[in-house]
Structure 1
Amino acid sequence: MPAFTLYGFHGSTMTNRVRMTLAEGGFTDYEFVVVNLPKGEQRSKDHLERHPWGRVPVLQYPGGFTLYESQAICKYLATKYSFPLLPPQSDVEGTALFEQATSVERSYFSSPAGNIAFENFVKVRMLKLPPDEKVISDSVKSLNDFFDVAEDILSKNEYMAGKAFSLVDIYYIPVIHRLIDCGVGDLITSRKAVSAWWDRCNSRPAIKASVAAEKETLAAMLKG
């Protein structure tokens, strides 16, 4: 029996965060169950019992323990299975910087990046609806401001939370790949330090394999 079940969807950047965390930890002993978002399966009675807001991903153990919200899941898995993606608990300053970097991603990056992904990917490619160009324009401006600051941070550190690759970097990776798919990759490639950080992240074998597998699956799904 698998250690746990991960409920998610191909194309969900939040689901991909969790799967990348597991890949980085070399953990394969789990079952992945697809919740078909376009068909509304996230609003089914069974899924709402797992996630009261009807989202993905959700982690569930055979004994009943259930956890939702991608960052909470990633941190739980890294702690429970000792993935080398968190500062050691004894490193109080390192842990504080990790939490600071997590807050930065959530406060200044997540919302505008999510807006672009929704307008240019979910609406256009999955729902066949026109995007809201003003939302996209405002969000690109916000991300330009964000990456201007990130350029300075990454000119002094190799990764978002310091010298070591961590969960915080994983939080960005699927979303930035989605931004690139949406045609705004120059936000990353036009900045020397940000671009170098991005190359370091994507050169990691587990990340490279995870991204390639997801792209192949997603391409087949969108084609079908």
Structure 2
Amino acid sequence: MQYFTSDTHFFHKDLLGMSQFAPRPFDSVEEMNELIIKNWNDRVKPTDTVYHLGDIALYFTKPARLSNEAVLDVLMRLNGYLVLIKGNHDSRDLFKFLAAHNPELDGKPKFEFHDVGVLIKYDHRQYYLTHYPMMLGIVNQIINLHGHIHHYAVPVKENINVGVDTPEVSYLDHDVPFGAPFSLTEIEQMVNGKAKAYQDRE
């Protein structure tokens, strides 16, 4: 199966508590990291693919190798193959480190890397996966899945925020645990729910 997420921000201590930008009610980054890992692995199987749309982690140490190793350790605990799309907080140095330590699972690399975005097709629809929201205009059957803006939503029905803090879970008919990636079925429900909400306003 395919799953989608963004803005996990592992190790990002400035988001803890009542941060104005992306409040996360945890006492420590360890608590936050562990909950995301648990909720992720409860949903994603080792053979699944997860598209991570940027801002994997925010952790700085000296030497930088230590923070890269810590991020790698977390990613290795996550089930699935990870397609990583670079976010504004994902350094080129981190991506190079992950590429140099990219294990093969059943003959396939665990990590795949993209600087800008990925286009996939599903059920007569195209999904353009990016970190930043893209203003595509009114287009038929093309949806931009993105992250970056945390608990905000773009006021355009063709844009869906798939970050762990997204408010667009309101279009789902069930709860998704914090940090658990979204399935394609859930993405479709978000897309259809947002489109209907906008139609009802007209």
More helix by share: 1
Return the index of the structure with the highest Cα Rg.
1
TM bin (shorter chain): under 0.3
TM-score by length of 1: 0.24
